[in-house]
Structure 1
Amino acid sequence: MNFSKFGQQFTEQTGISQLMDDLGDALKSDQPVNMLGGGNPARIEAINEVFLRTYQALGDDGADGNGLASTALSSMSNYSNPQGDAGFIDALVGFFNRHYDWQLTRENIALTNGSQNAFFYLFNLFGGEFVQDGETVHKSILLPLAPEYIGYSDVHVDGQHFLSVPPHIEDVTHEGETGFFKYRVDFEALENLPALKEGRIGAICCSRPTNPTGNVLTDDEMAHLSELAARYEVPLIIDNAYGMPFPNIIYSDVTLNWNDNTILCFSLSKIGLPGVRTGIIVAAPKVIETISAMNAVVNLSPTRFGAAIATPLVKDDTIKDLSDNEIKPFYKNQARLAVANLKAELGDYPLVIHKPEGAIFLWLWFKDLPITTLELYQRLKANGTLIVPSEYFFPGIDVSDFQHAHECIRMSIAADEATLIAGIKGIGEVVRAVYDDAAK
């Protein structure tokens, strides 16, 4: 059977497909697996109780005097328009204007079936083949700081169109302790990129906090990126899947800004609703119109069930209260627990940890690791612990001669305490053996 060039992309093993396959296999395994590899959010009891009550209320509101069905049934039995559920969009307009005074209207927001769906749209809108003045120009998505999210890598319909800049690596302290580092944007390299100066960049994109590292770009870095995007007349796309205002898993004192040249992407996944597949795009009306048209072709319309659950939580700011008072403190405590256990297991070995500033992961750097983290991943999986190796997180960079890209792993901190501690113990056992064997 012959596939098109587009179809052939999906016959190859990719980082994201391997990750999802391994997670699925682990769930079916009859052996215990320490799940530290996925992006599934934690099960936080206080959050789940709110979702359950909201869900039950949707079904209990019953038919009204005109015979209209409950909100839950209505959300499942009717399409929205391609832009997304109108009631949820109106609630989001009110929420963002209330908290940020962005002066949004309904024309500034579209919904998608998850943020992965949103980035499929956006990266193919702004990256790939363009026709300008009768000439064909190939434009890339510029990632100003790699490592970046594994799920970006394979969403283009015609090959990969990414250009990334390796980071500055800075030794830092965290909560008074050494043994940490932080990535910084190399703006000198960024400003001198030939592709940027020659008009071969279609958009600039960053995640904040960054998946996989938990790095949070500073307000000064964000302002510089915004100015750079405006100067070269390309949009700045910001992935807020873990950021402000929900789920707000971000510990730095930073602000969230928007303008017509910025595209903000949000998700309901990391507040604890990954299964409802609801993404949110805030952008200029022309972008929203185009996203809505793509929704119509690809999905007919976005799913409405997540919107039905989230609408009352957005209207009364419950979603912000849960993010600030339940979700963020939970992950901050998980990060502290994980750091303490990692230092206990590997304190005498060359481990440094990216400064935990947000998201639901720790990024571990094993300096001068004798094997690649692809091999380390296989050894850990055989030992009952799932992580994600670093090689997959550098789209747009040739990592063949970039040793650092073969020495890190992403470790989720969303597991329950017992699983997290057991997984770190497994990492310690395998990593110590790797270094000890190499020293013999």
Structure 2
Amino acid sequence: MKLSRFGARITGQSGISDLMDDLGDALANKPEMIMMGGGNPGHIPEVSKCFQRLLQDLANDAELAHSTVGVYDQPAGDQSFRQKLAAYLSGQLDQEIDASQIVVTNGTQTSLFMLFNLFAGPGEDNVNRKILLPMLPEYIGYADTGIDPALFHSLAPKVEPTSAHRFRYRPDFEELSTLDDIGAVCVSRPGNPTGNIISTPDLEELDEFAKSWGVPLIIDGAYGLPFPNLIYRDSKVYFSDNTILTLSLSKLGLPAVRTGIVVAPKAIAKRLATMNAIMSLAPASLGQALMSPLLEGGKLDALCAQHVRPHYLAKRDALLEAADRHFQAHGVDYEIHEPDGAMFLWIHFPSLRISSQALYEMLREREVLVVSGHYFFFGTSEPGLHSDRCIRVTYSQNSDKVLAGIEIIAKTVAEFA
């Protein structure tokens, strides 16, 4: 078999494929495995019942059912859905959003693949531009999305202690001032893997850098505002005329419908719709059909505020308490990034004597699945010490198992610190 360079690279080993393979193997063959690795949303009964009712309503409406599964949407997504979403977002973003600024994709992973390759790589002017990730660690799923293999320029963060056993990452703006040949700037908010919510002043400063380079600021809001609102401290959605906001239905409880949303300037949205047509003909319709009734009358905001956010906040608080208790009981040297959002704890073990990958392998043998921190440091030759002494743990799954898992993690780290 003769492969292209891109074909060989994208079908080879990667962090995101390793993660998904491990999750699939554990689900299929290891029922006792404590799943603290992936980002699959938890089961929230009230949310499941809501979507069951919407599915039933859809199935009982012959015309709606046919338009949902029997007809291609426009490449940008269903016009009616985008109009309803534009009206909803206009209220959330405090500015007028038009349906022509919205493109529906087959998941945020697809959204970011298109955006990254739209703006980075060899340009028409022969300049090889990169996607700037201004604050590592960043989402594992970005790492291998580039058609060009060297797609990212990533910067190590500033590390700021906030209290006993807690810290926060911030962008190093002095480093940004030395850069050029940037095609776009991207941050996840809340951060994956850290749960960090980059502050509005820091976003504004990043946006100013982006404007000075003539490039957009991409905000990956898969866990954030305005939905699913996995935000645990005061924060507002950030959007400017230079911003591209990506959203997802996955963390609402619909990961399998593979629906991503991009809100962007009209010229960019038009290009993304063209890419959609080439790659997929049209985006899948089911997620749009299920979401559409929730966009009116405050239903979506109520679902998030009353059920989705409280569910994960309670799980976060329980895991934080257990982590502090078990780590301290076993004499573990540890720091946890301030978990302001999402569904993860990012834990740094300063005195760990083995690599984070070796720790991951040891924990897997003990039937606890986490993610090694080194996967989240890419696009740089100087990732810093945190890259090999951190793990990401997910608290979205069964609470009893997650709390048992953190005790196993504490005991295991104590053996190697």
Instruction: Tell me the TM-score range normalised by the shorter chain.
Output: over 0.9
Shift of residue 188 of structure 1? 1.3
Paired residue secondary structure (1:215): coil
* Amino acid in the other structure paired with 2:364: K
Output one character per residue of 1:203-239: Cα deviation in whole Å (capped at 9) or x when no partner.
Answer: 0110110000000100110111111111211100000
What residue in structure 1 maps to residue 273 of structure 2? 292
Say if 2:19 is the partner of 1:33: no
State how far apart, in whole Å, the 2-side matches of 1:281 and 1:402 are: 32
What residue in structure 1 maps to residue 381 of structure 2? 398
Match of 1:427 among 400, 409, 415: 409
- In the TM superposition, 1:321-336 aligns within 5 A as 321-336=302-317
Output one character per residue of 1:354-381: Cα deviation in whole Å (capped at 9) or x when no partner.
Answer: 0110011000001121000011111111
Asked if the contact 1:59–1:73 (Cα under 8 Å) also holds between the matched residues in 2, the reply is no
Match of 2:261 among 264, 280, 289: 280
* Amino acid in the other structure paired with 2:26: A
State how far apart, in whole Å, the 1-side matches of 2:92 and 2:160 are: 34
Asked if the contact 2:75–2:281 (Cα under 8 Å) also holds between the matched residues in 1, the reply is yes
State how far apart, in whole Å, the 1-side matches of 2:323 and 2:237 are: 32
State how far apart, in whole Å, the 2-side matches of 1:257 and 1:339 are: 28
Paired residue secondary structure (1:52): helix
State how far apart, in whole Å, the 1-side matches of 2:30 and 2:393 are: 22
Rg comparison, structure with higher value = 1
Cα distance change of structure 1 residues 422 and 126 upon mapping to structure 2, 3 Å threshold: same
Paired residue secondary structure (1:227): helix
What residue in structure 2 maps to residue 166 of structure 1? 156
What residue in structure 2 maps to residue 121 of structure 1? 114
- In the TM superposition, 1:137-148 aligns within 5 A as 137-148=127-138
State how far apart, in whole Å, the 2-side matches of 1:131 and 1:26 are: 45
What residue in structure 1 maps to residue 212 of structure 2? 231
- In the TM superposition, 1:38-57 aligns within 5 A as 38-57=38-57
Asked if the contact 2:156–2:384 (Cα under 8 Å) also holds between the matched residues in 1, the reply is no
Paired residue secondary structure (1:212): coil
- In the TM superposition, 1:239-278 aligns within 5 A as 239-278=220-259
Asked if the contact 1:94–1:315 (Cα under 8 Å) also holds between the matched residues in 2, the reply is no
Paired residue secondary structure (2:149): coil
Shift of residue 246 of structure 1? 0.4
What residue in structure 2 maps to residue 410 of structure 1? 392
Shift of residue 244 of structure 1? 0.5
What residue in structure 2 maps to residue 65 of structure 1? none
What residue in structure 2 maps to residue 438 of structure 1? none
Paired residue secondary structure (1:131): coil
* Amino acid in the other structure paired with 2:92: H
What residue in structure 1 maps to residue 355 of structure 2? 372
State how far apart, in whole Å, the 2-side matches of 1:11 and 1:123 are: 19
State how far apart, in whole Å, the 2-side matches of 1:385 and 1:70 are: 47
Shift of residue 298 of structure 1? 0.4
What residue in structure 2 maps to residue 190 of structure 1? 176
Shift of residue 31 of structure 1? 4.3
Shift of residue 433 of structure 1? 1.7
Shift of residue 74 of structure 1? 2.3
Q: Please, which moves more after superposition, 340-349 or 293-302?
A: 340-349
Say if 2:184 is the partner of 1:203: yes
* Amino acid in the other structure paired with 2:283: P
Output one character per residue of 1:276-330: Cα deviation in whole Å (capped at 9) or x when no partner.
Answer: 0000000011111110110111001000000000000112321111112211122
State how far apart, in whole Å, the 2-side matches of 1:227 and 1:255 are: 18
What residue in structure 1 maps to residue 78 of structure 2? 85
Shift of residue 28 of structure 1? 0.6
State how far apart, in whole Å, the 1-side matches of 2:31 and 2:80 are: 45
Shift of residue 410 of structure 1? 0.4
Output one character per residue of 1:376-397: Cα deviation in whole Å (capped at 9) or x when no partner.
Answer: 1111111101100111101212
Paired residue secondary structure (2:165): strand
Cα distance change of structure 1 residues 108 and 38 upon mapping to structure 2, 3 Å threshold: same
What residue in structure 1 maps to residue 367 of structure 2? 384
Output one character per residue of 1:330-355: Cα deviation in whole Å (capped at 9) or x when no partner.
Answer: 21111111111111221121011101
Shift of residue 256 of structure 1? 1.6
Q: Please, which moves more after superposition, 251-260 or 359-368?
A: 251-260
State how far apart, in whole Å, the 2-side matches of 1:433 and 1:186 are: 35
Q: Which runs of 5+ in 1 are unaligned?
A: 62-68, 436-440
Q: Please, which moves more after superposition, 146-155 or 247-256?
A: 247-256
Aligned residues: 415
Output one character per residue of 1:31-65: Cα deviation in whole Å (capped at 9) or x when no partner.
Answer: 4010000010111111111111111111123xxxx
Shift of residue 103 of structure 1? 1.1
TM-score under structure 1 length normalisation: 0.92
Q: Please, which moves more after superposition, 90-99 or 144-153?
A: 90-99
Residue identity (%): 40
State how far apart, in whole Å, the 2-side matches of 1:424 and 1:117 are: 33
Say if 2:104 is the partner of 1:94: no
Output one character per residue of 1:132-165: Cα deviation in whole Å (capped at 9) or x when no partner.
Answer: 2xxx211000011110000000001121311111
* Amino acid in the other structure paired with 2:162: V
Asked if the contact 1:384–1:426 (Cα under 8 Å) also holds between the matched residues in 2, the reply is no
State how far apart, in whole Å, the 1-side matches of 2:291 and 2:260 are: 12
State how far apart, in whole Å, the 2-side matches of 1:33 and 1:160 are: 36
Asked if the contact 2:107–2:258 (Cα under 8 Å) also holds between the matched residues in 1, the reply is yes
Paired residue secondary structure (1:294): helix
Say if 2:348 is the partner of 1:362: no
What residue in structure 1 maps to residue 140 of structure 2? 150
State how far apart, in whole Å, the 1-side matches of 2:400 and 2:206 are: 41
Output one character per residue of 1:54-81: Cα deviation in whole Å (capped at 9) or x when no partner.
Answer: 11111123xxxxxxx3423320111101
* Amino acid in the other structure paired with 2:233: S
